[in-house]
Amino acid sequence: MDSQRDRAGRFLLWKAGLSRRDVMKALLSLAFASSGVAFAAKPHDSAGWILAPGDR
């Protein structure tokens, strides 16, 4: 049975018009960014968002 947290997560995904894949990419990007791994060479490392310096 789904936990309340799972259901809330799915609701947020639906509300944002996102797929699970989108979120995984975003979370991975965040993880890489916070760990300092060089992942910013490509402009589209943020689930396709073209970011400005200082966005993250």
Partner 1 sequence: MLRQLAELGGDEEFDCCVIGTGPAGICCALQLAVAGKKVAVLEGGSEEYSRESQDAYAGTMSGDLYRGLTSTRLRFFGGTSNHWNGWCRPLESWDFEKKSAADTEWPIRREDLDPYLQAATDILELPRIPADRPMGDSGLFQFDFVWAPPYQNLSSYFPVRFLQKYFNIFVAHNYLHLFLNTNLLSLETDGRKVTGARVGDFGELRQTIRARSYVLATGGIENSRLLLWSNQLAKGELVRNASTLGRYWMEHPHYTLGYGFIATSVMDNTESSQRRRLYLAPSRESIQQHRILNMGLRVDRPRDKQQEIVENFALVAPEAGQRALQDFNEGRVKAFLLRGAWEQEPTATNRVSLTSEADSLGIPRVNLHWQKTELDRRTARVSAEMFGNYIAKKNLGRLRLGTWLTDDLDFPTDDNLGGNHHMGGTRMASSPEFGIVDRNSQVFGQQNLFIAGSSVFPSGGQANPTMTIVQLSLRLGDYLASRI
Q: How far apart are alpha carbons 32 and 4 in whole angstroms?
A: 28
Is residue 10 a contact point for partner 1 (CB under 8 A)?
no
Residue choice 18, 32, 39, 40 for contact with partner 1 (CB under 8 A): 18
Burial (CB count <10 Å: 0-12, 13-18, 19+), residue 36? exposed
Q: Does 40 bind partner 1 (CB under 8 A)?
A: no
User: Do residues 11 and 2 make contact, with C-beta atoms less than 8 angstroms apart?
Assistant: no
Rank residues 2 and 14 by Cβ distance to partner 1 and give the closer one: 14
Query: Footprint of partner 1 on residues 20-39 (CB under 8 A)?
Result: 22-23, 26, 29-30
